[in-house]
Amino acid sequence: MARMTATDLLAPFQWLNLPESAGGPLDVIFSVAFLRGLDPAEVVRRFSRGEDSGHESDFAELDEEAYEFVMETGGGDGGGYVGVFQAGEWCVAIEPFGWMAGLHEVLTEVSRGCEVVAVTRHGYAEHSFAYAIDGTVVTGYPLRCPYDRYGSDPDRLNGFMRELGMGLDEPEDDAAWDAAGEDNYPTAVPRGFALAAKVTGVAFTSDMLDRPMLVGPIAGR
């Protein structure tokens, strides 16, 4: 059997990389967090700072509530809502129009006593990946710059990152910077979600948006 290439590994996540003009279901600003060690109701409680355990709903209602929140607040506070469902040992938390799940102050709170992997796509700012365990960010990086890693153990996921074709060494000259940009920019988001799948064993595919979920508010930070 032929060995899978990095391109093959990224294919299931290209739907998350659609341009704004294509009108993908999550558009170009969203976060997805994967949490192990909590049930969906507890995930909602943590995002709401204990104020809400969520109500049963679906992605269409989550998307509508988030859109209304954006319209009311002007978009500067993200989408305001999260939808959560179980996927094996992990919960998946979807945050349309938002980036709270990827903020370090949120990760350190939400990850206490559990593991969290968070991937954010922000079409007008910075895409990001972060992996936190029990209140500590272990490793993270801007999705377009895999060589710019940080955290308590920034090289923890290097093996997985190399499997996905990421360049882990900082470019040394202008030509190398140009080559790194050409390689990293168009593949940054699929690689981030492919890395999350390597860590969690959960591939975030489009059919997951059809699952029932618990929807609740994200408390202001």
pLDDT(4) > 70: no
Residue 150 domain-assigned (yes or no) = yes
pLDDT(2) > 70: no
- What percent of the chain is predicted at pLDDT more than 70? 94
Average pLDDT estimate for 142-148: 94
Residue 219 domain-assigned (yes or no) = no
Residue 221 domain-assigned (yes or no) = no
Q: How far apart are CA 144 and CA 147, in angstroms?
A: 9
CB distance 68 to 97 below 8 Å = no
User: How many domains, in total, are found in the chain?
Assistant: 1
Count, residues in the chain: 221
pLDDT(152) > 80: yes
**Residue 22 belongs to domain spanning:** 6-214
pLDDT at residue number 185: 78
Residue 1 domain-assigned (yes or no) = no
pLDDT at residue number 178: 65
Q: What is the DSSP letter of 150?
A: B
Residue 45 domain-assigned (yes or no) = yes
Average pLDDT estimate for 147-153: 97
Q: How far is CA 70 from CA 18, 53, 78, 112, 121, in A?
A: 21, 22, 7, 29, 17
Residue 139 domain-assigned (yes or no) = yes
Q: How far apart are CA 125 and CA 147, in angstroms?
A: 18
Residue 18 domain-assigned (yes or no) = yes
**In 3-state terms, what secondary structure has residue 128?**
strand
Please state, rounded to an integer, the average pLDDT across all residues of the chain.
Answer: 93
pLDDT at residue number 68: 97
| Token pair of 100 as six digits | 């709270």
Residue 101 domain-assigned (yes or no) = yes
What confidence category does residue 3 fall into, taking pLDDT thresholds of 50, 70 and 90? low
pLDDT at residue number 142: 96
Least confident range from 94-103, 171-180, 189-198: namely 171-180
What confidence category does residue 87 fall into, taking pLDDT thresholds of 50, 70 and 90? very high
pLDDT at residue number 179: 66
What confidence category does residue 221 fall into, taking pLDDT thresholds of 50, 70 and 90? low
Average pLDDT estimate for 97-118: 96
Q: How far apart are CA 138 and CA 210, in angstroms?
A: 32
Q: What share of the chain is helix, strand, coil (3-state, %, to 5)?
A: 40, 25, 40
pLDDT(212) > 60: yes
